[in-house]
Amino acid sequence: MHKYLKERLHRSVKVLGVDIDPRLIQRASEENESPEDVSYACVDVLDDEAFESVKTYMEVNNLEKFDAICCYSITMWIHLNHHDQGLRLFLQKLSNLAELLVVEPQPWKCYQKAERRLKKAGEIFPLFLELKWRSDVDLQIQKYLEESLDRRKIFESAPTKWQRKICFYR
């Protein structure tokens, strides 16, 4: 058996759930009476100071990298609030910390729906019109991960009920 797999089979599994929304972290903590190997943290990944808590978690648990990092239904929100460069930075930071990066990019129609909902509420996403990654955002994410971050897509799911694909990059 490969040395990497042997190492992983003989250590305990630890899970760190991260979200920027403190209410979601609180709900997860309360509803999932977690074993000691599951932790939750309210972290803005793009805030370097806040992100230190993830690095501290890794140090305490003797981790060079996480085995996997999963990003479900969040790339659009990062993109709308932090522009193309912010999304690239987000993907780069997480890619540097994971053996396997799992990403579920939202299609452009989700962006348009979010923009319409916010306009109805009398607000806008100020960066929406400036985004360069637009109608093919899922392909732009894939291209960036593969060409700039040297990731290789090893699996792509069938579309979910929301017509999104879950992509696995090693």
- Residue boundaries of the structural domains of the chain: 1-64, 66-170
Which option is the CATH number for 66-170: 3.40.50.150, 3.40.1180.10, 3.40.50.300, 3.40.50.2000?
A: 3.40.50.150
Residue 5 has pLDDT above 60, yes or no: no
| pTM of the predicted protein model | 0.89
Which residues does 107 contact at the CB level (< 8 Å), separation at least 6?
137, 138, 163, 164
111 pLDDT tier (thresholds 50, 70, 90): very high
In this structure, are residues 28 and 40 in contact, taking their beta carbons and an 8 Å threshold? yes
Distance CA 88, CA 91 (A): 5
In this structure, are residues 146 and 153 in contact, taking their beta carbons and an 8 Å threshold? yes
The enclosing H or E element of 40 equals strand 38-42
Residue 131 has pLDDT above 70, yes or no: yes
Segment 142-152, tens digit of pLDDT = 999 999 999 99
Distance CA 24, CA 168 (A): 25
Q: What is the DSSP letter of 130?
A: G
54 pLDDT tier (thresholds 50, 70, 90): very high
* Cα dihedral across residues 107, 160, 114, 117: positive or negative: positive
pLDDT recorded at residue 7: 60
104-130 mean pLDDT: 94
